[in-house]
Structure 1
Amino acid sequence: MVGASLQDWGLGSLRDDVRLVVSELVGNVVQHAVPDGCLARPGASRRVDVSVMTWPGLLCIGVTDEDSAPPDLPVGECVSPALAGEFPEALLPDRGRGLLIVQRLADSVWWSPEEPGGKTVWCRFDLDPVASERAP
């Protein structure tokens, strides 16, 4: 649905990156989010909302879940590539790789709490001026 919307809006060049970002964020909800008050109910149904919005110059993606725990957003590189030597896999964190991918593809990533509970993880993609003129 996200890819089709981007195509309709003339933003097809972002389709692959945005679909990967949405896939990672929804995957995080499926793998890690536990709805508030449901810790003792494994397998309970969950709500996941995906929002895709455009403004002049911006594309914004939001994925909302019912877990109020903040996401574990990577803060930056912990190890200098020069220190990794012949073992570049040493640079990969043990967890949070999906959000690292999201941070690499999007121009900005943040989160906000939802009322009465839950959170939304947001991503912003800056659009080039030509694409912005075509977006609704």
Structure 2
Amino acid sequence: MFVWPETQCVRSVRRAVQAILDHWEIAHVTDDAELLTTELLTNAIRHTGGEQPLRVTIAADQRGLSIGVRDRSASAPRPHRPTACEESGRGLLLIERIAGSWTYRFHPDGTKTVSCRLPL
């Protein structure tokens, strides 16, 4: 699904993820999947110029659920080790903790996808 990089889109994407997982009969991972999607999407919104839509993908096979967000940022994502006083900067650490890992890749068209895989 394509969404504009605005914070208001996060709620509708979370609802879409919930509906998809219900339809696929894997609702037992909904809470984690919604959180992972929120973190990936929020990072993309924060680090893009807001001029191009983001693409959110979700796919499942027998072993896991893949969630990805594609944006036009040329910057590689880097985990941040925030201090206890910082209010943000824990997104990729949280993704890694819940999903086990995350990755990113650049595409020939200048976009990049940050994704994670949640075991089923």
Kindly provide the amino acid, as one letter, of the partner of residue 20 in structure 1: L
Equivalenced residue count is: 105
- For 1:69, the equivalent position in structure 2 comes to 75
- For 1:121, the equivalent position in structure 2 comes to 114
Higher relative contact order (CA 8 A, sep 6+): 1
TM-score (normalizing by structure 1): 0.68
Q: Report deviation, 1:45.
A: 2.1
Pick from 33, 51, 68 the counterpart of residue 18 of structure 1: 33
State the SS of the aligned residue for 2:46. Answer: helix
- For 1:96, the equivalent position in structure 2 comes to 89
TM-score (normalizing by structure 2): 0.76
Structure 2: gaps spanning 5 or more residues: 1-15
Q: Report deviation, 1:73.
A: 2.9
C-alpha distance in 1 between matches for 2:113 and 2:90: 19
- For 1:84, the equivalent position in structure 2 comes to none
Q: Report deviation, 1:33.
A: 2.1
Report the CA distance shift for 1:105/1:93 in structure 2 as closer, same or farther (over 3 A): farther
Pick from 30, 35, 50 the counterpart of residue 45 of structure 2: 30
- For 1:6, the equivalent position in structure 2 comes to 21
Structure 1: gaps spanning 5 or more residues: 35-43, 79-88, 128-136
Kindly provide the amino acid, as one letter, of the partner of residue 42 in structure 2: G
